[in-house]
């Protein structure tokens, strides 16, 4: 018991410091985490959540006992601190948890020693009677009530979408630079930030090639487009642009990337 108490105290220091770890022990034959713990249940005030211990490998035949420490974290899942009453396999959401996230670490002990493993955080705890929002990692609520997620939280079978396009001016009458704005969302409707947006002319010679830009928090990417002398400025003509959005690190031809052709009307210069 003394050995387990010391191990839990050491683990609490590491968790409070924001250190993610799978095991802490000087005994090499101690249990080893094969699968990390999980929290099941609804993250809501008054509801009971349960710690699943995960899977543990052990060298010897002795039984494994488990101890638990629930942690209360900020809305980003950081700055976690132990909950004094949260030392059991189950935990009931409290008023102090509302607007925060929870996680649990599990200490596994056999005759050879003790190891610890920490779960991922729950979703944001909601008030009693409320319905929890379940969103991908990194979700941020926008002023319009919708959510923004990083491109890293988009994975197949979900895909990126170029859902909105804006130009300023709306009709090109000269070869001075103009602005194109492209909003990236995903197939679930989230605004996607940090997506790489690429724009080129069709044919390519109609504009100078701008660099890829990243979409912002609201999913919008702004690109300055410089027409060349090959762009026809006549009534009834259009400039056609190929637009692509992709996740950094993905193949430009695969992954969750998306493509779209858009057009903008041209006209004779104003007299």
41 contacts 49 by C-beta, under 8 angstroms = yes
Based on the domain organization, do 117 and 160 belong to the same domain? no
Please tell me whether the overall predicted TM-score, pTM, comes out greater than 0.75 for this model. no
Based on the domain organization, do 187 and 234 belong to the same domain? yes
- HSE-up of residue 211 (Cα within 13 Å, Cβ side): 2
247 contacts 255 by C-beta, under 8 angstroms = yes
Low-confidence ranges of the chain (pLDDT < 70): 1-29, 59-60
Closest CA to 119 of 134, 105, 100: 105
89 contacts 51 by C-beta, under 8 angstroms = yes
Domain of 187: which CATH number? 2.60.40.1930
Structural domain span for residue 232: 147-266
Domain of 65: which CATH number? 2.60.40.2700
Based on the domain organization, do 184 and 254 belong to the same domain? yes
Based on the domain organization, do 164 and 226 belong to the same domain? yes
User: Six-digit token pair at 35?
Assistant: 């699968």
Based on the domain organization, do 57 and 103 belong to the same domain? yes
For position 137, what pLDDT does the model report?
79
49 contacts 86 by C-beta, under 8 angstroms = no
How many domains does the chain contain in total? 2
For position 240, what pLDDT does the model report?
96
User: Residue 142: inside a domain, yes or no?
Assistant: no
Closest CA to 192 of 132, 248, 150, 236: 150
- Dihedral pair phi/psi, residue 92, rounded to 5°: -105, 130
Based on the domain organization, do 101 and 63 belong to the same domain? yes
64 contacts 108 by C-beta, under 8 angstroms = yes
Sheet of 65-73: strand order equals: 81-82, 65-73, 101-110, 113-118
User: Residue 141: inside a domain, yes or no?
Assistant: no
Based on the domain organization, do 154 and 51 belong to the same domain? no
Length of the chain: 271
For position 88, what pLDDT does the model report?
96
Based on the domain organization, do 130 and 222 belong to the same domain? no
For position 241, what pLDDT does the model report?
97
User: Residue 140: inside a domain, yes or no?
Assistant: no
d(CA 5, CA 95): 28
Based on the domain organization, do 178 and 97 belong to the same domain? no
User: Residue 197: inside a domain, yes or no?
Assistant: yes
For position 60, what pLDDT does the model report?
67
For position 17, what pLDDT does the model report?
36
Helices and strands per DSSP (H, E), number in the chain: 1, 20
d(CA 202, CA 240): 5
Sheet of 171-172: strand order equals: 171-172, 258-266, 237-246, 196-202, 213-214
d(CA 179, CA 182): 10
Query: How far is CA 156 from each of CA 149, 151, 163, 219, 234, rounded to the nearest angstrom?
Result: 15, 12, 18, 19, 43
């Amino acid at each position: 018991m003394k050995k387990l108490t010391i191990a839990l105290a050491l683990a609490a220091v590491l968790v409070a410091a924001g250190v993610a770890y799978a095991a802490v022990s000087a005994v090499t034959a101690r249990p080893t985490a094969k699968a990390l713990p999980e929290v099941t249940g609804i993250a809501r005030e008054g509801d009971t959540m349960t710690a699943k211990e995960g899977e543990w490998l052990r060298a010897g035949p002795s039984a494994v006992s488990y101890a638990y420490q629930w942690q209360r974290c900020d809305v980003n899942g950081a700055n976690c601190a132990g909950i004094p009453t949260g030392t059991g396999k189950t935990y009931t959401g409290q008023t102090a948890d509302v607007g925060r996230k929870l996680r649990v670490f599990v200490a596994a002990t056999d005759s050879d020693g003790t190891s610890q493993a920490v779960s991922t955080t729950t979703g944001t705890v909601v008030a009693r009677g409320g319905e929890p929002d379940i969103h991908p990692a990194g979700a941020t609520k926008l002023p319009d009530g919708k959510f923004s997620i990083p491109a890293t939280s988009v994975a197949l079978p979900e895909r990126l979408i170029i859902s909105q396009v804006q130009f300023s001016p709306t009709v090109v009458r000269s070869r001075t630079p103009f602005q194109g704005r492209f909003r990236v969302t995903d197939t679930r409707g989230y605004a996607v930030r940090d997506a790489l947006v690429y724009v080129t002319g069709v044919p390519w010679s109609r504009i100078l090639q701008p660099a890829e830009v990243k979409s912002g928090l609201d999913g919008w990417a702004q690109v300055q487009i410089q027409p060349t002398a090959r762009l026809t400025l006549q009534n009834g003509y259009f400039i056609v642009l190929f637009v692509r959005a992709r996740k950094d690190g993905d193949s430009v031809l695969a992954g969750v990337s998306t493509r779209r052709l858009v057009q903008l009307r041209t006209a004779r210069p104003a007299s």
